[in-house]
Amino acid sequence: MAEQAVRPSDAAQGAPRRSWRTVDIVVTAVLGVAFGVVFWAWGLLWAATGPAFGAFPPGQAVMYGVWLLPAVLAPLIIRKPGAALFAELIAGIVSALLGSAWGSLVIVYGLLQGLAGELGFAAFGWRRYSWPQALLAAALAGGTAAGLDLVNYYPDWTAGWMTTYTALIVVSTVVIAGVGGIALTRALAASGVLSSFASGRSRV
């Protein structure tokens, strides 16, 4: 039984194993909770640094990528359909429970951003978990977040500001969530903590 619990997943052999194990659920939930705390704290930093961008509010978007990291990191580690959605949604719920300045709306953000990140891996049939998938997932999640912000908070901005804000969010997300997600996965794999996952036995 123990051998079955930690054996390489079929994804490492070319055929993705779609069913979730208990360890997959637990680790994804832990990632979601941990990032929920990070989201809440990042919201405080966002508010504190807001005045520094008073002359050009769209510029603050360079900080945005942190909020999209679970949508890329969780799939890279777990390698199962739904990992991006699960982790990002849990993070949004925890952030809301901790008293996010944006209230329960962050749960909707978590849901939609997670779905967008999921598409980056779904486009490859959830069979590949490397640079193209991570960067695509990050870009899609970032674009979704930008669209939500422009509708909910900045509908009166000029077209130029909207375009700049969207571009900066996508770039921030690609760098922080895309590149950062790959780097974090590799670091965790090198430490040995991902030995129960295919991501711990193959290079992303």
Instruction: Look at residue 3 in the predicted model and tell me its pLDDT.
Output: 40
Instruction: Look at residue 93 in the predicted model and tell me its pLDDT.
Output: 98
The helix (H) or strand (E) run that includes residue 17 is: none
Which string of DSSP letters, residue by residue, matches 106-132? Answer: HHHHHHHHHHHHHHHHHTTTT---SHH
- Residue 19's alpha-carbon distances to 22, 23, 29, in angstroms, are 10, 12, 16
Residue 149 has pLDDT above 80, yes or no: yes
Query: What average pLDDT does range 35-59 have in this prediction?
Result: 97
pLDDT in tens, 62-76: 999 999 999 999 999
Query: What average pLDDT does range 155-165 have in this prediction?
Result: 98
Instruction: Look at residue 202 in the predicted model and tell me its pLDDT.
Output: 76
pLDDT in tens, 167-182: 999 999 999 999 999 9
Whether the pTM exceeds 0.75: the reply is yes
List, in order, residues 6 or more apart from 194 with CB less than 8 Å away.
77, 185, 188, 200
Q: How confident is the model at residue 5 (pLDDT cuts 50, 70, 90)?
A: very low
Q: How confident is the model at residue 16 (pLDDT cuts 50, 70, 90)?
A: low
